[in-house]
Amino acid sequence: MDRIQIRGGRRLNGEIRISGAKNAALPLMVASLLTDEPLTLACVPHLTDISQLAEILAGLGVEITMNGNGHAEAAIGRVLKLHAKTITSTEAPYELVRKMRASFLVIGPLLARCHKAKVSLPGGCAIGTRPVDLHLKGLEAMGAQIELKEGYVYASAPGGLHGAHILFPFVSVGATENLMMAASIAKGTTIIENAASEPEIIDLGHCLQAMGAKIEGLGTRTLTIEGVERLKGTSHTVLPDRIETGTYLMAVAAAGGEVELVGTRADLLGGVIPLLESAGVHIQATNRGMRVARNGVHFTGVDVTTEPYPGFPTDLQAQLMALMATANGVSHISETIFENRFMHVPELMRMGADITIEHQTATVRGVERLHGAPVMATDLRASVSLIIAGLAAEGETIVNRVYHLDRGFERIEEKLSALGADIKRVKG
């Protein structure tokens, strides 16, 4: 199994290009199921999650062609053309869905277009149990009959889905996406209250609008979707990855240096930039994105709680903790979105971090220096937090289970090497 080897202590300097957002690209690919015309997506990142979803969609009958897979083009991502001219199967099997929860999103579009679907329950994962009850209750309110049998959701809506008034008890990104897609071609109007307002939801909404959907309220907590008879194909560019952006901001802050992040947007990051600035990290908008610098002066601890957008994202919590491990002073980091997203803590402690956890809050007492160690993580964002720690640490860090990183960070070792980091992938 591949590993990443890092010799820490090098400053990062130069520029890197931020990729298209994984968590926008995945639902956008699923949206191709809503029309018999081709949907073309540009700036799709080269990641295993994307290939796995492509495999699931191909199994449903979507014809997928891909350009820009070469090395040079990889810098700006691939162009995917997805054509669901005829849906040949309405079944998403366990072997594929279990590998990636986002594939559960196919259920809404399949039900809306084909009036039936059989999709494996995704099951839990390392960061928590992650049920799909909100997705299912929403679809039931829209007229679907749902039966759970042998680990599968059997859903049908013989007369088609109809509009409904849905109030989520808490914010769910995936349930908002699933119902927004289904409602686009349901009969009548759907209102989703307490909807998610993440930039990836807005991106999906813009693409659906370009396909002919009638959606109001994008970026707010209330979405109104008036179903239309049919959607058409379109071309859409995936928005930049705010989580990758935040990750590199924190990597530079941890290792020191000055880097321009090209092709990204400050407005996608919600409260992240002000928080890092309050800790003493310099971030400046540029024509091409933003520049982050930490030269000499050390940064201070912060208190932060993960929240739905525009609050601090759970997908950057582990990276922030790695950064704060060497801050001046104490940080309190509370995780409110997932019940088990502190698996990076024991690994950071093996590198010398001083962290205690009580309930959902980690108290991080900044230490002078971390030291390299062999480490491993059980999810994507935790793995990258160990890379950040390794860049700032003295000595050698080996990060095991690299396949987690390949799910969500495009060519991470190449990007960091280009900035002067001593990092390489060790095969085997």
The footprint of ligand EPZ (CB under 6 A) covers 23, 26, 101-102, 128, 130-135, 172-175, 314-315, 337-338, 380-381, 408
Instruction: Rank residues 130 and 232 by Cβ distance to ligand EPZ and give the closer one.
Output: 130
DSSP result, 43-81 = EE---HHHHHHHHHHHHTT-EEEEE--SHHHHTT-EEEE
- Euclidean distance between CA atoms 146 and 156, whole angstroms: 7
| Distance of closest approach, residue 271 Cβ to ligand EPZ, in angstroms | 14
| Distance of closest approach, residue 102 Cβ to ligand EPZ, in angstroms | 4
| Distance of closest approach, residue 309 Cβ to ligand EPZ, in angstroms | 8
Instruction: Rank residues 161 and 393 by Cβ distance to ligand EPZ and give the closer one.
Output: 161
Which of 43, 114, 125, 207 does the annotation list as catalytic? 125
| Distance of closest approach, residue 13 Cβ to ligand EPZ, in angstroms | 28
Instruction: Rank residues 204 and 362 by Cβ distance to ligand EPZ and give the closer one.
Output: 204
Instruction: Rank residues 228 and 357 by Cβ distance to ligand EPZ and give the closer one.
Output: 357
Supply the DSSP symbol for 327.
Answer: S
In the annotation, is 43 catalytic?
no
- Euclidean distance between CA atoms 207 and 228, whole angstroms: 15
Instruction: Rank residues 132 and 238 by Cβ distance to ligand EPZ and give the closer one.
Output: 132
Instruction: Rank residues 382 and 393 by Cβ distance to ligand EPZ and give the closer one.
Output: 382
Residue number closest to ligand EPZ, CB atom: 174
| Distance of closest approach, residue 168 Cβ to ligand EPZ, in angstroms | 9
- Euclidean distance between CA atoms 309 and 311, whole angstroms: 5
- Euclidean distance between CA atoms 151 and 321, whole angstroms: 36
For the chain, what is the total number of helices (H) and then of strands (E)?
15, 24
| Distance of closest approach, residue 216 Cβ to ligand EPZ, in angstroms | 21
Residues whose CB falls within 8 Å of the CB of residue 187, separated by 6 or more in sequence, listed in order: 160, 161, 162, 163, 227
- For residue 240, the cross-strand partners are 20
Residues whose CB falls within 8 Å of the CB of residue 12, separated by 6 or more in sequence, listed in order: 251, 252, 255, 256, 257, 258, 259, 391, 416, 419, 420, 421
Is 369 within 8 Å of 394 (Cβ atoms)?
Answer: yes
Sign of torsion over alpha carbons 333, 338, 340, 346: negative
Report the DSSP pairing between strands 257-262 and 282-286. unpaired
- 3-state class of 248 per DSSP? helix
Is 33 within 8 Å of 113 (Cβ atoms)?
Answer: yes
| Distance of closest approach, residue 57 Cβ to ligand EPZ, in angstroms | 15
Instruction: Rank residues 82 and 153 by Cβ distance to ligand EPZ and give the closer one.
Output: 153
Kindly list the catalytic residues: 125
